[in-house]
Amino acid sequence: MIVKKNNLPKGFVYIDDMIPSVHLDIRYYGEYNFVGQHIDGYKAPLAIMSLKGVTALKKVSDELEKKGYLLLIYDAYRPQKGVNDFVRWSKDAKDTKMKIEFYPLLDKRNLFKLGFISSKSGHTRGSTIDLSLVHKSTGKVVDMGSPFDFFGDISNHGTKLINKQQTGNRNVLKNAMVKYGFKPYSKEWWHYTLINEPFPKQYFNFDVE
């Protein structure tokens, strides 16, 4: 059982405290991610977000649950130290152990230039989230046509590289997120930012714990 520290800065909450049905697969806590190792600042597999963000996300969750879906969260608030970890990794050209799974067609040194990762991330402001869906009846992950954190054209919104069912699945998530105030990111179907975020110019560095 994970014991939460419950010492979050004012205006932040644990997502599962407000949305108990949510599924968590916090990739940067473990080693199955594009870096291939645990990321600095993730001391527990928990999802933290601004209260304003989670309040909007709960509306998404409530609507989609009626349609047979539950939210699956891969990442939410991300400490700046975690972003710095990505920067360090990107500069080590020899470390390509996860290339085949996450960026087979790209040079890792170009991931910043191409907009897949950034030295300043919206996640660090506390109102950006990476998520997908699971089927409520089976618990199986909904097929979105490409895996989370796969860097390539197939992960773009509007790509023609996936089938109609997969496009429809992405749109189920996208339509609900947009309806309740989130903005999608064109290159990543899983990435959304609250438009009216409460900390638009503030980058946090407290641990996920």
Query: Are residues 55 and 15 in contact, defined by beta-carbon separation less than 8 angstroms?
Result: no
CB atoms within 10 A of CB 186: 11
* Angle between the N-to-C axes of helices 51-66 and 164-179, in degrees from 0 to 180, rounded to the nearest 10: 130
Phi and psi dihedrals of 25, rounded to 5? Answer: -135, 75
Annotated catalytic sites, by residue? 188
- Residue 38 annotated in ligand binding: no
- Residue 107 annotated in ligand binding: no
- What does the DSSP 8-state code read for residue 45? S
Q: Compute, in degrees rounded to 10, the torsion defined by CA atoms 32, 126, 51, 64.
A: -50
- Residue 191 annotated in ligand binding: yes
Cα 124 to chain centroid, rounded: 12
Helices first, then strands: H and E counts in the chain: 5, 7
Phi and psi dihedrals of 110, rounded to 5? Answer: -100, 0
* The two three-digit tokens of residue 209, written as one number: 């714990």
Residues placed in the known binding site: 123, 130, 191
Residues placed in the known binding site for Zn(2+): 123, 130, 191
